[in-house]
Amino acid sequence: MVTESVSPVRVVLGVAGGIAAYKVCELLRGLTESGHDVRVVPTEAALHFVGAATWEALSGHPVSTQVWSGVADVPHVRLGQDADLVVVAPATADLLARAAHGLADDLLTNVLLTASCPVLMAPAMHTEMWEHPATCANVATLRARGVVVLEPAVGRLTGVDSGKGRLPEASELLAAATALLHRRRDLAGRRVLISAGGTREPLDPVRFLGNRSSGRQGVALAEAALARGAKVVLVAANLVVPAPSAATLVLVGTAAQLHDEMLEQAKHADAVVMAAAVADFRPRRVEATKIKKTGDAPTQVLLERTADVLVDLVARARESADGQLVVGFAAETGDAAGSVVEYGRAKLARKGVDLLVVNDVSGGQGFEVAHNAAVVLGSDGSEVAVPDASKREVADAIWDLVAPRLR
């Protein structure tokens, strides 16, 4: 196996009870040969397939399945807290279910609850189990939380049958683990500013003009940046999901408030991401009292333009020449005159941003849901497609592009 050397890190290798456990011995070898300190945490069932002696000999550390050994060292908390990466291979249907529901009934599930580092899971099971709605829901839950759950490979399964459900080869698992380790602290010491949610422009004390943005993508960006070591300021307009507690939260309501806060906070940021859906127009007149349907109720609402926050952020960044990276979003629909990407490319040039995340919103796709698909266009001509994935995965794909571009 080809191994790549990165700085020594602490890896917890969780092994659940599947026949593919034997292939994980080779992964363990690859991880240790890469210079990593690996602690193997098998489940009780995993030891039916590969015994403790094998894991101990290959890792150089004792193994335990339960929280009751070495209690004085509090291993059920320490192992997860100290880990730089947790890899679970094979992740069985049962392990995925226990992890998704936050159970803590053995050492491995305790590790998963205490680890704040990246977590990689490589499922392996029969096709029927992988495709069962319960497993699909558990995988979606884990992915939405930022766990990287690999797709199983297709091929020969335990018996004579074949299909989707094989554990990927050890070399592929090692490559995925190495990629996650590179991502781990790539925003350490960076200050990032993110806007999220949708602005509301009041008509009177009870009514407003708003939009369908939930703030999920912006919150996922904040969570991903925090996990990668960044200091995060989140300017939040009417979120319907909770903001991460580790972010500095600035609450706004209208486009004007969002504009002023973003321009102020941007002075201290290395990267700015405008994920909020900002109103382009607001009512010209805001009534001080509720508009009644009787009497001289207005039948038309006159609108005026709001400021373009992104354009002003780009102008600020270019003026200060502080190397700040500015990322915009674009919700686009294609038509006879142009494709979604063509419209995106034109918007990137118009707004002057470094990166533009283009969502195809034909048919309402992208709003009020937990997943998203995007194309990220760069001012350097780059174009990276992010296939339909959880908003957290889209967020990590965006930071993958931002991190190497930061000065």
- Please give the residue ranges that form the binding site for ligand CTP (CB under 6 A): 255, 274, 276, 278, 280, 306, 308-310, 328-331
Report the distance separating Cα 383 and Cα 341, nearest Å. Answer: 9
Nearest Cα neighbor of 174 from 393, 5, 53, 295 is: 5
Name which of 180 and 310 has its Cβ closer to ligand CTP: 310
**Contacts of residue 53, Cβ cutoff 8 Å, sequence gap at least 6:** none
Nearest Cα neighbor of 361 from 380, 381, 375 is: 375
Report the distance separating Cα 162 and Cα 311, nearest Å. Answer: 54
Least distance CB 161 / ligand CTP (angstroms): 48
Least distance CB 250 / ligand CTP (angstroms): 15
Active site residue 211: yes
Angle at 205 between CA 204 and CA 208, to 5 degrees: 60
Name which of 82 and 280 has its Cβ closer to ligand CTP: 280
Of 110, 211, 238, 372, which one is the catalytic site residue?
211
Report the distance separating Cα 379 and Cα 349, nearest Å. Answer: 8
Report the distance separating Cα 304 and Cα 255, nearest Å. Answer: 12
78 SS3 class:
helix
Least distance CB 405 / ligand CTP (angstroms): 17
387 SS3 class:
strand
Helices 216-227/391-402 angle, 10° precision: 50
- Torsion from C-alpha of 124, 125, 128, 132, nearest 10 degrees: -70
CB of 308 closer than 8 Å to CB of 336: no
Q: How many angstroms separate the Cα of 85 from the Cα of each of 3, 9, 144, 172? A: 17, 8, 18, 16
Name which of 121 and 348 has its Cβ closer to ligand CTP: 348
| Beta strands 371-378 and 383-390, pairing class | antiparallel
Residue nearest to ligand CTP (CB): 309
Least distance CB 177 / ligand CTP (angstroms): 34
Name which of 142 and 330 has its Cβ closer to ligand CTP: 330
Name which of 72 and 336 has its Cβ closer to ligand CTP: 336
- Give DSSP secondary structure letters for 316-385: HHHHHTS--EEEEEEEE--BTTB-HHHHHHHHHHHHT-SEEEEEE-GGGTTSSSSEEEEEEEETTS-EEE
Name which of 263 and 406 has its Cβ closer to ligand CTP: 263
Least distance CB 378 / ligand CTP (angstroms): 15
Name which of 224 and 309 has its Cβ closer to ligand CTP: 309
Residues forming beta bridges with residue 357, ordered by sequence position = 329, 376
Report the distance separating Cα 373 and Cα 359, nearest Å. Answer: 6
Q: Give the containing element (helix H, strand E) for 130.
A: helix 127-131
**Contacts of residue 68, Cβ cutoff 8 Å, sequence gap at least 6:** none
Name which of 107 and 325 has its Cβ closer to ligand CTP: 325
Least distance CB 242 / ligand CTP (angstroms): 21
Q: Which residues belong to the active site?
A: 211
